[in-house]
A and B are shown apart, each in its own frame.
Chain A
C-alpha cells in the first residue's frame, strides 16, 4: 500500500489554536479534516507537507444553522450531515442532490464541505452547487475574518484565495424564496463528474427574478455560467429559453478532452444538463408556488 512521507502532526483544539499553528508552521503546513482529498495525495507523495494541522476536534465548525436569514454551514460539516440536514433540504435541495452523488456513503461520513471546496478540484460538485446559489466563504486568520463570494473563491485548478495562515471556517448562503436542483453525469456511481450542472431560480410575476447556474468539470470560469444566467434573468421560464440557456452555457465553458470524454461531448452535456436541471428547479418552484405556476 502507498503510504505518506513523514510529517509533523498537530491537533488543533480551537479555531484560535489552529490559526496559531498555521502561523507557526507557515506555507509548508496543511490543514487536514476528513483527509479524503489530502491523504491520498500524500500517499502518492504528490503532497508532502511538513506539518499537518488536524481540525477534526473543532466542533464549532461542524454545525449547520440559520443566522439572520442566512444558512450557515461550518467548514467541518461532513458530507453526510449536509445530505441529511432537513434545514438545508428545506431551503436548498441542490445540496442534497449534489451530495447524493458525491463519492459514496462511507467517504461522505468522513469528508467535509470545507475540505471539498479548499481542494478546488475542477470536478468538485459542491463548488458548482455553492456557485449556483451564490454562497459566501468565511475565511478567518489571526488578522480577523473576511468574506469572499464563492464565485470569487477559486483562483484556478486546485487553487483558492485562502492564503497561508488562513482557515476556511464557514459557508454562508442567504435564505430566500427559490428553488434549486443538481444533475450529474458520471461513468459509475461514486466517480467524479463527466459533467454536472446545478440551478437555482426565483420567479416573480412570471419572469425569472434570479437565476443561478453552476457547472462542474466543464471548465466554466468559477464554476458558473454567467452568460446563460444573464440571458435568462428577466424573462419567462420557458422550455425554449432553458434550451437556449443550455446552448449559451455550452458555448462559454471550456471543457477538456480526457478519459471521461471528448470536448464536443462535454459541451453537449453542458447544454443538456443546464436545460434539464433548470426544468427540475422549475418543477420544484411550481410545487412550492402552485398559485403562480410557471410554464
Chain B
C-alpha cells in the first residue's frame, strides 16, 4: 500500500507518496533530506529524534509519517529564522551544551518548547523536560546551563553567526 501525504515541515508543504509504515524520522531524513533529526534507538528511549508535531515535541521514530498528513512539523532546521539564530541555539554554543552534537537537535527542540511554555525554568524544570533524551557526552550539566542561558536571553539580540555569540563558562 502506498499513500500520498502532505506534511508541512518548517512552514513548507511537502507532498510525497509513501508506504504507511514509513516512520516520521525516515520521512524527514530520507524523503526530505532533513538529516538534522537523528535516531539512536528503536524503543523511543533516546530522544535524538524529537521534533514538534503540531507544536508539541514528539519522538518521531515512534510516529508514522502518515499520522503527520495535513499537520505541521518543526525540526531543528526550522529554528534559525530570518532574524537570526534562536536563543536556544546561541545558548548551547555559549555554554558548551554539546559535544558530539548527536543529541543536540532533539535537545534544542525540547528546550525551545520548554521556554515557550515556561519562560523562567528552574534547573529542576529543565532536567525534567529533557529526562527522556539521552546525552552521552555532557553529563547534562552544560545542557541545563544552556537552556537557562537561552531563557535569560530570550529577549536579547538574535545573532546571525555563532562567532558573534560569546562564550559563557563557569569560573
Identify the A interface with B (CB < 8 A): 1-9, 11, 32, 35-36, 39-40, 42-44, 52, 54, 56, 103-107, 109-110, 189-190
Contacts and interface: CB of A to CB of B under 8 A. Distances in A.
A9 B43 contact: no
16 contacts: A1-B25, A3-B26, A4-B21, A5-B21, A9-B66, A35-B63, A35-B67, A36-B44, A39-B62, A40-B44, A42-B21, A104-B47, A105-B129, A106-B50, A107-B59, A190-B132
Residues of B in contact with A, size category: 20 to 34
A110 B63 contact: yes
B64 A39 contact: yes
B50 to A, nearest CB: 6
B42 A40 contact: yes
Contacts of A109: 56-58
A183 to B, nearest CB: 18
B21 A107 contact: no
B3 A9 contact: yes
Given A4-B23, A11-B66, A110-B56, 13 more contacts: A1-B61, A3-B23, A5-B21, A8-B1, A36-B59, A39-B62, A39-B64, A40-B44, A43-B42, A52-B64, A54-B66, A106-B57, A109-B57
A7 B20 contact: yes
Contacts of A103: 132
Interface of B: 1, 3, 19-21, 23, 25-26, 39, 42-45, 47, 50, 53, 56-59, 61-64, 66-67, 69, 110, 128-129, 131-133
A56 B71 CA distance: 12
A6 B19 contact: yes
A106 B133 contact: yes
Q: Which of A6, A35, A42, A105 has the most CB of B within 10 A?
A: A105
A105 B128 contact: yes
Given A40-B42, A40-B43, A190-B45, A3 B21 contact: yes
Contacts of B133: 104, 106
Contact of A6 (B21, B23, B42): B21
A9 B20 contact: yes
Given A8-B1, A107-B44, A52 B132 contact: no
B21 A190 contact: no
A40 B39 CA distance: 14
A56 B67 contact: yes
A54 B21 contact: no
A3 B27 CA distance: 13
Contacts of A8: 1, 20
Contacts of B3: 9
A268 B21 CA distance: 44
Contacts of A39: 23, 62-64
A192 B104 CA distance: 26
A186 to B, nearest CB: 12
